[in-house]
Amino acid sequence: MIFIVVKWTPKPEFVETFPDVVADFTAATRNEPGNLFFEWSRSIDDPSEYVLVEGFRDGDAGGEHVGSEHFKTFVAAAPDVLASTPLIISHSIDAEGWSEMGEIRVD
């Protein structure tokens, strides 16, 4: 699996509406056959920062994502709403999705 985490900082005027700004891109990405998850969160330490956690089946699926029209459209428009360049960690890992945490058990 390709596991990706990206930190996004919208311009101040887009901080509250950022989920709406990324809604179409999010929906299109979630509909890609190789997408496992595409989940946005807002930082509790810095409410002007959003964190995107992505999973793609493999490198081919990640390549299809980057080559998609919705990705290209979003990348072209993103600088208009961002305060800084997003920060990313992208790594291939030996997993197929989420697993239960071993240290905590809830019955």
Digit-by-digit pLDDT tens for the chain (107 residues) are 999 999 999 999 999 999 999 999 999 999 999 999 999 999 999 999 999 999 999 999 999 999 999 999 999 999 999 999 999 999 999 999 999 999 999 99
Euclidean distance between CA atoms 43 and 101, whole angstroms: 22
* Half-sphere exposure (Cβ direction) of 95: Cα atoms closer than 13 Å: 15
Q: Determine the Cα–Cα distance for residues 22 and 38; give it in Å rounded to an integer.
A: 11
Contact in structure between 30 and 53 (CB atoms under 8 Å): no
What pLDDT sits at residue 29?
A: 98
CATH fold group of domain 2-92: Alpha-Beta Plaits (3.30.70)
Q: 0.75 exceeded by the pTM? A: yes
